[in-house]
Amino acid sequence: MATKIPENLKYTKEHEWALVEGKNLTVGITDFAQSSLGDIVYVELPEIGFELKKDDPFGVVESIKSVSDLYSPVSGKVVAINSDLQDAPEKINETAYESWLIKIEMSSEAEVAQLLDSNNYKSLCE
């Protein structure tokens, strides 16, 4: 299966993507993840202001096949959630890299260096 893996993003081993924008990190799930999950029917996201620790679960994605936890790529505070996904979770299947889940104000930008680049993520998916 040909999976899109944009080179400008960072990735986790749990198949989240992360876009660094200054002190903020936008997080979503990868094309590989949405493809593996199948039709996504529900997304549970944290409240704005919720404090996250790197690698801790922050929400849930439910598909017709399974329920999967979402893991935070970095520590920080949730500053935005994509509320559009609560009414239309299938957008993740349609455009995984445009359908972000949350934005995090990072407490440590150094944690970004621990994320995978596109080449390492591609190897993980093969």
pTM, 2 dp: 0.94
Q: What is the pLDDT of residue 62?
A: 96
Report the DSSP beta bridge partners of residue 43: 61
pLDDT tops 80 at residue 1 = no
Task: Work out the average pLDDT over 101-116.
Answer: 96
Q: What is the pLDDT of residue 4?
A: 82
- Determine the topology of domain 11-108 in CATH: OB fold (Dihydrolipoamide Acetyltransferase, E2P) (2.40.50)
Report the DSSP beta bridge partners of residue 76: 52, 106
Number of C-beta neighbours around residue 39 at 10 A = 12
Task: Work out the average pLDDT over 92-102.
Answer: 96
pLDDT band for 5, please (50, 70, 90 cuts).
Answer: very high
